[in-house]
Amino acid sequence: MTVETSLAYELTPFPLSLFSNKDQKMNKANKAGFSKTSLKELTDPLDLTNQSCSTLVVDGGWLLYMVKWKQGQTWQEIANSYLSYVQCLGRRSQKTIVVFDGYSRSPKDHDHIRRTKKSCCDLQIRPDMIDWTPRAKFLDNTNNKSELIHLLSSTFRKHNITVEQCDNDADTSIVREALATATDDSVEVRAEDADVLVMLVHHIPSTNHPLFFTTSKGSYDVRRIHEALSERERCYLLFCHAFTGCDTVSAIAGHGKTTLFDRICAGDIDEHMDIFLDTQATKDAVIQAGTTIFQYIYHAPGTALGEIRHNMFSRKAAAGLIKPETLPPTEGAAAQHSLRAYLQTQDWILLQRISCKNCGHDGGKSGEDSEIDS
């Protein structure tokens, strides 16, 4: 077997161009940097202090970490602290909606595992029970989060705050609630996740009223961001955000999201990107389109990925420095990455969880079980 034929395989337990060698988890994308550079900086932040919005939609996953509590309080006292915080957020709104994650098995399992730093056993809580577990440790357990969400939901509803708890990830539900309300009146979304902003920017043309996205760094008019993007950037925003790395899809080692977004939108690969926007695309079409896009990313259009790997390996070997993560993924790894990116893109386009069977991919799989999963 030659070096060239050998490099058609990963030769590692997992694709190093898509997974971290440090913790064997998917490469984490700089979503915050992308949303700041490619979206938020297109417009100036707004001061909404004196502007009322009819509805406030709050990301419950973000909310869980915003309220500090001390050990020794009862769980109802802790829930009341969250209530006061939400009421303060919604003081300028006629209606407040809080959308919580379901924390069931989902394509975001990989990211949930990455965020877990401290182990904590499953706890059952009642309003009159006293908490003796450190807050950070308690929230690192998804079952404990679900227990707290149940108590918070009950407390909020008693005070006329609408609560929606999703089966899994809340991002699409947050956007769906915001868009539905913005057809009748102004809406403010309080969240930090770049995924929410990207979806709002894509779907904003379907609304008639102002829609604002507020983070800890400021508030932004979503429609202004949408109008500041070029037509091609608007069209391929969701695809680019998914393919270049998000919570469910690996980032590509050595290729930043912002740089790839600019390159992809400037390239002549529209017919291949369009496949990811097509709800009726076949599995083979998605894989072929994804492979072609990888060839473009690695500056070798029309060249098989195995050949690109060999050519890059030869150049690096001659230079005396080989970093395996800088080589492109194999055909198999690229196929799984493409299918995963397609599933996520369609999820964001349709604003609902689609069946993984449509594209022949196990969307709930963490990616650690297969050497070609991304």
pLDDT of 332 reads 95
pLDDT digits (tens, 9 = 90+) for 80-114: 999 999 999 999 899 999 999 877 655 555 554 54
Q: Checking DSSP bridges between strand 218-221 and strand 211-215, what pairing results, if any?
A: antiparallel
- The helix (run of H) or strand (run of E) holding residue 324 is none
pLDDT digits (tens, 9 = 90+) for 309-322: 999 999 988 988 88
Q: Are 65 and 139 in contact (CB under 8 A)?
A: yes
pLDDT of 116 reads 52
* Predicted TM-score (pTM) of this structure: 0.87
Tokens of 25: 């988890």
Q: Are 216 and 193 in contact (CB under 8 A)?
A: no
Q: Are 330 and 9 in contact (CB under 8 A)?
A: yes
Q: Are 280 and 358 in contact (CB under 8 A)?
A: no
- Give the separation between CA 281 and CA 320, rounded to whole angstroms: 43
Residues of the chain below pLDDT 50: 112, 114, 355-374
- Give the separation between CA 48 and CA 35, rounded to whole angstroms: 20
In order of their start, the domains of the chain are 53-228 (3.40.50.1010), 230-358 (no CATH)
Tokens of 13: 């337990």
pLDDT of 289 reads 98
> What burial letters (b/e) apply to 77-89, b meaning 16+ CB within 10 Å?
ebbeebbeebeeb
pLDDT of 124 reads 86
